[in-house]
A and B are shown apart, each in its own frame.
Chain A
């Protein structure tokens, strides 16, 4: 069974204080690892897809990296508008027909001014 574990569950940072969110996964064969951002009362918003160990993707203050067992979302010099819940999800090779994802429970990030 595919599993995704995110840590920490919640993280409070000061504005400008860089940090990393962790996503550990077990999957029969990784087809892709996804990061999403979710604001309160809204649906998740796609950020990145990573496919193989060693891959990195960047978007503004966010950088996602991937190893064979985990992914990190690095947040550099965050601003209050980066406050959100960040979700990690994996897609396994074994899923046929459509691309169902298995999600972690998310990290609730708060950036204080």
Chain B
């Protein structure tokens, strides 16, 4: 019954490497998001996308980029990994608000714990 799948649970990368985190959802959701979660800082939005090939910066986009070539797939790219990007990365998807304003929340993946050494 997995609906949002993140490709890796754990990753260890070296400083300066280019890192790809993949996320796939099977719910036909328009909106997809990448967050990072750090102790004491909570969840912070990196990027989001509301349509194929569309992307918007979140609160902390520096050092990251994203790609959404297909509706079901949203990739997070660390162009040159640094130790301060060691974190838990969470992907989420959601459907847009219905005309009645009812929203059923995000569906999150299980997360990728990335360690940059």
Contacts and interface: CB of A to CB of B under 8 A. Distances in A.
Interface of A: 31-32, 34, 36, 41-46, 49, 51, 87, 89, 91, 97-106
Given A89-B43, A97-B54, 4 more contacts: A98-B30, A99-B31, A99-B96, A103-B43
B40 A105 contact: yes
B49 A46 contact: no
A42 B50 contact: no
B110 A43 contact: yes
11 contacts: A36-B108, A44-B106, A49-B105, A87-B43, A98-B30, A98-B31, A98-B50, A99-B103, A100-B48, A100-B56, A102-B45
Contacts, number: 69
A43 B96 contact: no
B107 to A, nearest CB: 7
A41 B113 CA distance: 9
B108 A43 contact: yes
B41 A97 contact: no
Contacts of A31: 97
A34 B105 contact: yes
B110 A100 contact: no
A43 B9 CA distance: 11
Contact of B106 (A42, A101, A104): A101
Nearest to B35: A103
B45 A100 contact: yes
Nearest to B106: A46
B90 interface: yes
A32 B103 contact: yes
B90 A97 contact: no
A61 to B, nearest CB: 19
Nearest to A106: B42
Interface string B47-73: 011100010101000000000000000
